[in-house]
Amino acid sequence: MQKKIVEFTNLLRKSGVRVSVAEAIDAFRALDELSLDDREIFRDAMRSAMVKRSDDIATYDQLFDLFWSGFYDNLRGAFEGMNDELAAQGIDLDQLMRMLQEQLESLEPGSLDLSDLARALLTADLSQLEKLIREAGEQAGIARIENLLQIGFFSRRMMERMNAEGAAQELRDLAARLRAQGLSDDQAEAIRGLADRLLEALRRSVRNFAERELQKQNYDYMERFRRETLTEKSFYHLTEDEIRQMREVVARLAQRIKNVLSIRRRRMQKGKLDLHTTLRRNMARGGVPFEVTFKHRKKDRPKLVILCDVSSSVANVSRFMLQFVYSLQEAFTRIRSFVFVSELGEVTQVFRDHDINDAIEKALDGGDVINVYTRSNFGQAFHGFWQNHLSAVDKRTTVLVLGDARNNYNDPRAWCLREVKNKAKNLVWLNPESPGAWGFGDSVMDRYLPACDVAEECRNLRQLAKVVDRLVL
């Protein structure tokens, strides 16, 4: 039992659940206090001692099922399936077994020398079978299994270790001997058939065992792989499914930044001695300053103005950018968002009226204020902003521009952007194209660059998170 729990702990660790030694010991202590008859209690007790993050609970539950159960049931399933099959062919397994039993007893003791496996098969002793399969698995080094292609290899190897072929042969021999002792042809045939089927059921079970082992050992592997690649994946090639998953990842990232932020902010707060409050607080002690208070340093939260290109080429970047920023709303004093393709329109209200995901889809669709089915014209958009919305920018505002600066050979009107920059605290440009492509073809990024305080490539979630993190600091 102890060994199994240690093994299970290792499995948890392998799947990304952090279990310390102290926690494993707690699990042992907890199990000492309980009777292990009730599976649920067993599971809950171990979970409370070893799994401390609510995110990990699902992983734990699934692994628990894989590890602590199942195989036996599965084994039974395989052998019961055989039962039904035989019944369909008009053979009564029970009767056959009984007959076999009688025959075996009639053989003189000692003359029959069956291997463990053959005996277990013959008597359908499932727990013995399970034990044998597990042993074989251990000998075959099944814990090293890594991918689907190895299932066949390992199950073959396990069959060899168990000498399954030999056991089948023994059964066939037995049939022949019983035949010699005066069993009818039909009956001997039935027994031989049974032997084949037993072997087949065994083979299936072994294979199943190997499959489960693979799942167990590599649980979470694909999941983790997918999540990791998702943050690296370029926004240009996302399927719809991935967009959905991406949303979750963004939400999680935003939450994390939020958590860190509250700590950082608090650290920055302590300022100079606050004489007034200190005196007032210590009046009760005759003005002797027992308790000292400090002034809070006020750190301004930034104001944010977002100019978002929503033409189809950058829609995904805009989508996650907006989601990110609006998930972090409380980190900013005020967010105003504008979208553009050629003309520019404000969508701040849309975000106020709808919940975040709906609002984003609406904004990407032009938010009822602009026509998205035109060709990108950054010059016109910036001019529009300069003309109508320059008042939105003051010296505490960070302006965030999102776009690929592919201007379809229109006039870039970089001076508008320069004006905006002069009024703002910061102007940050995020471009989903890599810097190598800036200024080539119809890209006018090089013209806009002088007007940007920061210009960054931003085409996957990792880069986006980095930028957002800097923004809120």
Partner 1 sequence: MFDSIETVQRNLGEQGYICGKNIATVVYLAHRLEKPVLVEGPAGVGKTELAKVVAEATGRPLIRLQCYEGLDEAKALYEWEYSKQLLYTQILKEKFSEAMAGAKTLREAAERIGAEDSIFFSDRFIVPRPLLRAITSPSPALLLVDEVDKSDPEFEAFLLEVLSDFQVTVPEVGTFSAKVRPLVFLTSNDAREMTDALKRRCLHLYIDFPTEEEELRILDVKVPGVDRRLAEDLVGVMQRLRKLDLKKTPSISETIDWARALLALNAAQIDEALVRETLNVILKYEGDIRKAHSELGRLIVRKAEAPPKPAAPAPSAATPASGEATPGAQPVGPAAPAPPKKGTLH
C-alpha 39/C-alpha 65 separation (Å) is: 10
Cα–Cα separations (whole angstroms), residue 195 to 173, 174, 284, 339: 10, 10, 95, 74
State the nearest-atom distance from the C-beta of 359 to partner 1, in Å: 10
Chosen residue from 3, 355, 395, 436 binding partner 1 by CB under 8 A: 355
**Positions in 172-191 near partner 1 (CB under 8 A):** none
Stretch binding partner 1 (CB under 8 A), from 44-52, 93-101, 126-134, 365-373: 44-52
Binding mask 53-72 for partner 1 (x = CB under 8 A): xx--x---------------
Chosen residue from 13, 14, 52, 192 binding partner 1 by CB under 8 A: 52
CB atoms within 10 A of CB 334: 14
Phi then psi for residue 111, to 5 deg, are -75, -25
State the nearest-atom distance from the C-beta of 71 to partner 1, in Å: 25
Of 26 and 135, the one with the shorter C-beta distance to partner 1 is: 26
Question: Rule CB under 8 A: is residue 239 a binding residue for partner 1?
Answer: no
Stretch binding partner 1 (CB under 8 A), from 17-25, 308-316, 403-411, 459-467: 17-25
C-alpha 230/C-alpha 235 separation (Å) is: 9
Cα–Cα separations (whole angstroms), residue 8 to 5, 16, 39, 297, 456: 5, 13, 15, 51, 46
H or E segment at 4? helix 2-14
State the nearest-atom distance from the C-beta of 194 to partner 1, in Å: 43
C-alpha 417/C-alpha 444 separation (Å) is: 13
| Angle, helices 315-327/240-269, rounded to nearest 10 degrees | 40
Question: Rule CB under 8 A: is residue 49 a binding residue for partner 1?
Answer: yes
Q: Is 218 within 8 Å of 14 (Cβ atoms)?
A: no
C-alpha 250/C-alpha 229 separation (Å) is: 14
Please choose, from the candidates 145, 134, 171, 140, the residue with its C-alpha nearest in 3D space to the C-alpha of residue 158.
Answer: 140
Chosen residue from 262, 333, 388, 422 binding partner 1 by CB under 8 A: 262
Stretch binding partner 1 (CB under 8 A), from 231-239, 255-263, 324-332, 386-394: 255-263
State the nearest-atom distance from the C-beta of 48 to partner 1, in Å: 4
Stretch binding partner 1 (CB under 8 A), from 218-226, 278-286, 398-406, 450-458: 278-286
Q: Is 257 within 8 Å of 233 (Cβ atoms)?
A: no
The alpha carbon of residue 295 and the mean position of all alpha carbons in its chain are separated, in whole angstroms, by 44
Helices (H), 107-239: 116-122, 126-139, 150-162, 164-180, 185-217, 221-232
Stretch binding partner 1 (CB under 8 A), from 14-22, 367-375, 389-397, 452-460: 14-22
State the nearest-atom distance from the C-beta of 186 to partner 1, in Å: 50
Question: Rule CB under 8 A: is residue 131 a binding residue for partner 1?
Answer: no
Question: Rule CB under 8 A: is residue 270 a binding residue for partner 1?
Answer: no
Stretch binding partner 1 (CB under 8 A), from 50-58, 121-129, 388-396, 425-433: 50-58
Chosen residue from 2, 3, 40, 110 binding partner 1 by CB under 8 A: 40
Question: Rule CB under 8 A: is residue 48 a binding residue for partner 1?
Answer: yes
Question: Rule CB under 8 A: is residue 229 a binding residue for partner 1?
Answer: no
DSSP letter at 317 equals H
**Total residues interacting with partner 1, rule: CB under 8 A:** 34
Phi then psi for residue 34, to 5 deg, are -120, 160
Of 57 and 243, the one with the shorter C-beta distance to partner 1 is: 57
For 200-228, the DSSP string reads HHHHHHHHHHHHHHHHHHTTTHHHHHHHH
Of 266 and 466, the one with the shorter C-beta distance to partner 1 is: 266
Helices (H), 15-56: 21-32, 39-50
Stretch binding partner 1 (CB under 8 A), from 47-55, 155-163, 400-408, 445-453: 47-55
Binding mask 19-38 for partner 1 (x = CB under 8 A): -x-xx--x--xx--xx---x
Helices (H), 218-347: 221-232, 240-269, 275-281, 315-327
**Positions in 281-300 near partner 1 (CB under 8 A):** 284-286, 288, 290-291
What is the three-class DSSP state of 93?
helix
Residues that bind partner 1 (CB under 8 A): 18, 20, 22-23, 26, 29-30, 33-34, 38, 40-41, 44-45, 47-49, 51-54, 57, 259, 262-263, 266, 284-286, 288, 290-291, 354-355
